[in-house]
Amino acid sequence: MSTGHSKAAKEFLKNQTYAKWHDATFWAVRSKRDNMAYGLDEWEQLREKASQIKRHTITHLDEYLDQFATNAEKNGCIVHWAKDANEFNEIVYGILKNHNVKKIVKSKSMLTEECGMNPYLEEHGIEVVETDLGERIIQLKGQAPSHIVMPAIHLNHDDVGELFEEKLGSEKGNHDPTYLTYVARLSLRNEFLTADAGMTGGNFGIAETGDIVVCTNEGNADMSTSCPKLHIAAIGLEKIIPNYDCLAVFQRMLCRAGTGQPTTTFTSHFRKARPTAHPMHIVLVDNGRSEWIGNPEHWEALKCIRCGSCMNTCPVYRRSGGYSYSYFIPGPIGINLGMLRDPQKHSGNVSACTLCNSCQTVCPAKVNLGDQIYLWRQQLDEFGTANPEKKLICKGLGTVYGSSGIYNLGTALAHWANIIPSPLMNCGLNPWAEGHKMMEFPKKPFHKLIKEIEK
């Protein structure tokens, strides 16, 4: 009874040294988040407000989107609307082509990953340079991100050292992270200075003012937009929030929840292009969001602010890593978004969860992640992806539990399992025996013992 995830997780855990480091590293981030949360008496109040703000906003999003676009246009920005990933890529390419862009530098955007923008632009002859250090590392390595905030976490400093030796000409054998960061700085500095355009994502879009707000620690979004003469901002519909009072709530929680810092180094508001640059372009992207809002069990996934704290707290993510999941976003939010994106393709992730609910207890916007995973499981049969063995087992359980007669007979015989020879009990057909020594079945079940006690 295995899935893509369970097989990949098994492989992941074979390297016990790395697996323990991965688990400890993300638990440390969770702990830092805890310290932030315990340090603000208003933390739970903020979570509740954030949840309510999001519920209001995403159920009135058409109004806020209209307000945002109107204000952005009043500011002199050019606003585009992309109904899906393909349209997004075409729009971006069109803008770049019109400005004769050969090279674009970009800051981190899960949305551009979602739309497959980089390969599209590269196919069309445009060089794309990721400038978030983690994203740049995996770009040079030709890999996908394994976490939405720490995309290169699966690589250690030797992996990065060897990569930089090969791709950036760094000093052979010098794998000190400070040195490697400096090598990347110099390399990226050159890219910022010679790029024709810069692209950012958007952590938030402010309806009342038309601002695109981008939060980074590295300053790469600001470098990407301060030197090249063209700035394109890509933002998913659901990232629009009403006003600055709302922004304060989210800005205070985003980094505390995601990395355990009180703030990102830079919280930048882009209202219009700088005077020496071309007008700023903003691309609003739907790509399924206008459908998901209508899903009665899963619309609250749109509240997500992409902080990553659900992954950090997930005991399964920590012990299986981002690459074990079939969707490009891993962990609890990834399981849910993957199912919204393509339920047939991503059903395997849905069982990568013990329903411990730590994720929804940590989520700054109170997305009901664990509850939603439970609900997705109920739909697998309808999607045609329910595991047949599981289905059979549950049918069997249903029969046994459905009849007291069968149940009582079964439980009377259970203790005979104690004498089944070990090689037979621990064979491949008994997955419980893989990780456990079989339990002893007492001679008498409780329902027999109670009769003796009551006498």
Partner 1 sequence: MSNKEDILKKYRANVREKYDMPDLSDIKAITYNDPLVQFIKMTESVGGHVIEVKEGQDINELVKEMYPDAKEIASNLPEVTIATRNPDTVGRARDLNGTDVGIIRGQFGVAENACVWIPQTMKEKAVCFISENLVILLPKSQIVNNMHEAYKRIKFDETYDGYGTFISGPSKTADIAQVLVMGAQAARSATILLLPE
Partner 2 sequence: MKIGLFIPCYVDVVYPQVGVATYKLLKHLGLDVTYPLNQTCCGQPMANAGFEKQAIPLAEKFEDKFKEFDYVVAPSVSCTAFVKLNYSRLLEGKHECLTSSKIMDVVEFLHDVIKVNHPLGTFPHKVSLHNSCHGVRELGLSSPSEEHVTPFNKIKDLLNLVEGIQVLEPERPDECCGFGGMFAIEETAVSAQMGLDKVQRHMKTGARFITGPDCSCLMHMAGVAKKQGLNVEFKHVVEILAAGL
Contacting residue, 128, 240, 249, 362, with partner 2 by CB under 8 A? 362
**Of the candidates 144, 409, 420, 449, which one interacts with partner 2 according to CB under 8 A?**
449
Q: How many CB atoms lie within 10 A of CB 338?
A: 23
- Cβ-proximal residues to 80 (8 Å cutoff; 6+ apart), any chain: 91, 95, 281, 282, 283, 284
Closest distance to partner 2 from the beta carbon of 2 (Å): 7
Binds 380, which of partner 2, partner 1, none (CB < 5 to 8 A, cut-off by type)? partner 2
| Binding status of residue 407 toward partner 2 by CB under 8 A | yes
The binder of 37, among partner 1, partner 2, none, by C-beta within 5 to 8 A per type, is partner 2
**Closer Cβ to partner 1, 5 or 30, answer by number:** 30
Give me the least distance between CB of 76 and partner 1, in Å please: 8
- The residue within the footprint of partner 2, chosen from 17, 173, 439, 455 (CB under 8 A), is 439
**Among 246, 311, 350, 369, interactor with partner 1 by CB under 8 A:** 246
Q: Does 442 bind partner 2 (CB under 8 A)?
A: yes
Q: Cα separation of 266 and 269, whole Å?
A: 10
Residues 314-353 that bind partner 1 (CB under 8 A): none
Rounded Cα gap, residues 271 and 348, in angstroms: 42
Q: What share of the chain is helix, strand, coil (3-state, %, to 5)?
A: 60, 10, 30
CA 369 to CA 365: how far, in whole Å?
11
Query: Are 406 and 399 contacting, i.e. CB atoms less than 8 angstroms apart?
Result: yes
CB–CB of 196/250 below 8 Å?
Answer: no
Q: Which of partner 2, partner 1, none is residue 262 near (CB under 5 to 8 Å by kind)?
A: partner 1
Could you give the string, one character per residue 20-59, with x where binding to partner 1 holds by CB under 8 A and - elsewhere?
Answer: -----x--x-----------xxx--xx--x--xx-xxx-x
For partner 2, the closer of residues 182 and 401 by Cβ is 401
Query: SS3 of 206, please?
Result: strand
Locate 307 and state its tokens: 């902080």
Which of 402, 418, 422, 424 is in the footprint of partner 2 by CB under 8 A?
402
Q: How far is the CB of 347 from partner 1 (least distance, A)?
A: 23
Question: Per the structure block, which two tokens stand in for 254?
Answer: 């985003």
* Binding residues with partner 1: total (CB under 8 A): 96
Residues 288/111, Cβ–Cβ less than 8 Å: no
| Contacts to partner 2 from residues 126-185, by CB under 8 A | none
Select from 133-141, 186-194, 289-297, 312-320 the region that touches partner 2 (CB under 8 A): 312-320
Q: Which of 95, 237, 337, 369 binds partner 1 (CB under 8 A)?
A: 237
Does position 445 interact with partner 2 (CB under 8 A)? The reply is yes
d(CA 180, CA 158): 10
Residue 300 contacts by C-beta under 8 Å, 6 or more apart in sequence? 55, 367, 368, 372
Q: Which residue has the tokens 């355990």?
A: 260
Output Rg (C-alpha) for the chain, integer angstroms: 26
374 sits near partner 2 (criterion: CB under 8 A): yes
CB of residue 215 vs partner 2: minimum separation in angstroms?
Answer: 22
Q: Of 29, 37, 199, 339, which one interacts with partner 2 (CB under 8 A)?
A: 37
List the single partner that 319 binds among partner 1, partner 2, none, CB under 5 to 8 Å by kind: partner 2
Out of 6, 143, 261, 426, the residue judged to bind partner 1 by CB under 8 A? 261
User: By the 8 A CB rule, do 51 and 250 touch?
Assistant: no
Phi and psi torsions of 424, nearest 5°: -75, -40
Binding partner of 402, given partner 2, partner 1, none, CB within 5-8 angstroms per partner class: partner 2
Q: Does 19 bind partner 2 (CB under 8 A)?
A: yes
**Could you tell me the two tokens for 94?**
């069109």
Residue type (1 letter), 186: L
Q: Which residues in the 159-188 window bind partner 1 by CB under 8 A?
A: 160, 177-178, 180-182, 185, 188
Residue 248 touching partner 2 (CB under 8 A) = no
Question: Which of 294, 384, 388, 421 is the binder for partner 1 (CB under 8 A)?
Answer: 294
Task: Provide the minimum distance between the beta carbon of 57 and partner 2 in the complex, in angstroms, as a whole number.
Answer: 24
Q: Which does 97 bind (CB under 5 to 8 A by kind): partner 2, partner 1, none?
A: none
Q: Write out 275-342 in H/E/C secondary structure.
A: CCCCCCEEEEECCCHHHHCCCCCCHHHHHCCCCCHHHHHCHHHHCCCHHHCCCCCCHHHHHHHHHHHC
Distance (Å, rounded) from C-alpha 226 to C-alpha 29?
A: 31
Q: Is 390 in the site for partner 2 (CB under 8 A)?
A: yes
320 lies in the binding site for partner 2 (CB under 8 A):
yes
Helices then strands (H, E): number in the chain? Answer: 24, 10
Tell me, rounded to whole angstroms, the distance of Cα 336 from its chain centroid: 10
Is 253 a binding residue for partner 2 by CB under 8 A? The answer is no
- Between CA 217 and CA 225, with CA 219 as vertex, the angle to 5 degrees is 145
Ramachandran area for residue 231 (φ above 0: left; ψ -120 to 50: alpha; else beta): beta
Strands 211-216, 266-270: pairing kind: antiparallel
* 146 lies in the binding site for partner 1 (CB under 8 A): no
- Nearer to partner 2 by Cβ, of 95 and 362: the residue is 362
